[in-house]
Each structure stands twice: as C-alpha cells, then as structure tokens.
Amino acid sequence: MTILITGGSGLVGKALCHQLRQQGHTLKLLTRHEPATHEEFRWDITKKYIDPKAFEGVQSIVHLAGAPISQRWTEKNKREMYASRVDAANLLHQYAKQAGIQLESFVSASGINYYGTFTHNQILTEADAVVHHDFLSDLCVVWEQAAEQFRDVAERVVYLRTSMVLSNKGGALPRLLQIVNLNLSAPVGSGKQWMNWIHLEDMVNMYVAAIENRKLDGPYNALADEVPTNADFMKQLAHARHKLFLPIPVPSFVLKLIFGDTSAVLLTGTRADNSKIKNTDFSFKYKKLSAALRDLV
C-alpha cells in the first residue's frame, strides 16, 4: 500500500514509518523542509501548498502532524497547535479532492483529552460526548471534525484518541525519569488524577491496524488496560528505577507558576476505556504499567 504521512519525524511517526517499511508499504512523507529523499514531499500550511506529486497513487493518509501541547499555552502557541492539526487536515482534504483520489483509509491522531481536561472517576468510552469543555477538548473536537470531512474521499475514517505515549526515545517518560533519578519522585497536586498511557509499540500497532483493518472506523481510545492514579504512576516509576518515592505531593500552585495553563494536563485526568479497540481483535502487548516500565527503564 502507498501511504502518505504527516508528522513522520515525531516520536510516533518515526516508529510507525519504520514498522510500515518493514511490512513492505511504500511511504510518502510530507516535510516543511527541502526534501532530502525520494520519500519526501514539500508542504507549507501557511502558504496552503502541498506538492501534488505527494498524492499520486496514495491509498491511505495518516495525519500525525501537530505542534506539542506541552509548550506554554500562549495565544501564539495555541494558534500553532490549531493550525498544525486542523488547518493541515483541511489542506490535505483540499488537495486530495483536487487529485481525485479514492482512499482506503484516512487515519488521524486525536487526544484522550477529547472528553475534557478534568478529574473524575467516570470511565469514558467512545460513545460519550465531551464532558468538560476546555481548550484541549475543543481542539480535539475540531481536529476530529476535520478528519470526518475525508469521508467523501475515503472508505474509512479512523481517529485515535491518544493518551500519554511511553517511550525511552522521547515524549514524557525521559523527562519524568530525570526527576525520578534525583530521588524526587512524588505525586503532583492531589495525586488522585488518572494517568492514561500507552506503550509506543502498542501505539504503532494500533495505527497499523487503523490503516489495514477494514473493521476499524471512527474514534478509538488509545490507552492500555491499567489506568493508575498519578501517585501510583510515580511510585511505580520510582520503584522501576530503584529510587525513592516521596509521598508528599508537589503543590498545584507550583506547577501553575511553572507551566501556566499547561499545568492542567499534569494536575487533572479522567479514566478512559479501551474495550472498543479490543473488540476488533486488537491485542495489547503492554497491558500493565509494570510490564511497560520493565521494557523501557
């Protein structure tokens, strides 16, 4: 299959590209820089340009591009987070229609914060609507709406509501380990907020399933079976590194001073359910946090 990918240089994108190449797929990668290989094609969201050759023979599009949400939520950065996800999807759709292609699938990233950035014991499924409206949930809603427009050029549209991706090659885990290695592991805020997570290998396999498995359509929560609280997560991480765990929480106001509005991602968290993806015969390799940490740390 010939697959066009945005965000191929990111943590998930690199791992996914490696896996797809191993499976014999042909890749086309959109890049903001001058193309350096035969796989790369230029695009510029601000100038609303994509090299038309990128769409030749394409059977599936995977949209992973998106400015990191871990940066401070200034108005400028918020606009960048929106443009890199929503405007980019709109541009892809425009060019796909102009190219007259019919896709087997359009697969997009989304976020588990679709349901809202808050703490509650309710277990949320894909059948649930937004529970708590905020910046991240509103972003995920329009992100998914941008994906849905591909139904006129794709047999299936799939979007994966992604939780924290655990990898020793990037993302949140290496930064958390820096704290743990200093024997400063502690709960954040109340420590009772839920931490949805997924191992990078399972995340990649879920994207492969979204591309290849014709049963998959619509939204899927991308998270492992076990959802620990923040306190339990940090305790397990400290034990995995044979480091101290401090039961005294880091006060919320400290995080708010350092990170501003972005601290909401650290201080809140609700529980999501992964039954829908498992009902498609998808199998997680890392269901428990302890197994994932043994592999990664």
Question: What is the pTM (predicted TM-score) of this model?
Answer: 0.96
pLDDT of amino acid 41: 99
pLDDT of amino acid 70: 87
CA dist 60 and 246 (Å) reads: 47
Burial profile 259-272: b = 16 or more Cβ within 10 angstroms, e = fewer: beebbbbbbbbbbb
> Which ranges of the chain have pLDDT less than 50?
none
**Tokens for 138?**
């509103």
How close are the terminal C-alpha atoms of the chain, in Å? Answer: 35
pLDDT of amino acid 218: 99
Residues in Cβ contact with 205 at an 8 Å cutoff, skipping those fewer than 6 apart: 19, 282, 285
Bridge partners, 220 (sequence order): 160
pLDDT of amino acid 221: 99
Domains of the chain in sequence order? 2-163+197-223+273-285 (3.40.50.720)
Residue from 149, 143, 152 nearest 103 by CA? 152
Residue from 195, 187, 212 nearest 104 by CA? 212
Question: Beta 123-124 vs 271-272: how paired, if at all?
Answer: parallel
Q: How many CB atoms lie within 10 A of CB 241?
A: 15
Residue type, 64: L
What are the distances in angstroms from CA 112 to CA 22, 43, 161, 172, 271?
29, 28, 5, 15, 9
CA dist 24 and 296 (Å) reads: 27
What are the distances in angstroms from CA 223 to CA 25, 169, 277?
26, 19, 10
- Return the SS3 of 221: strand
pLDDT of amino acid 259: 81
What are the distances in angstroms from CA 20 to CA 17, 24, 55, 101, 156?
5, 6, 18, 21, 19
CA dist 59 and 52 (Å) reads: 15
What are the distances in angstroms from CA 50 to CA 42, 46, 66?
6, 11, 17
Q: How many CA atoms lie within 13 A of 104 on its CB side?
A: 16
Question: Beta 49-50 vs 40-44: how paired, if at all?
Answer: antiparallel
pLDDT of amino acid 75: 95
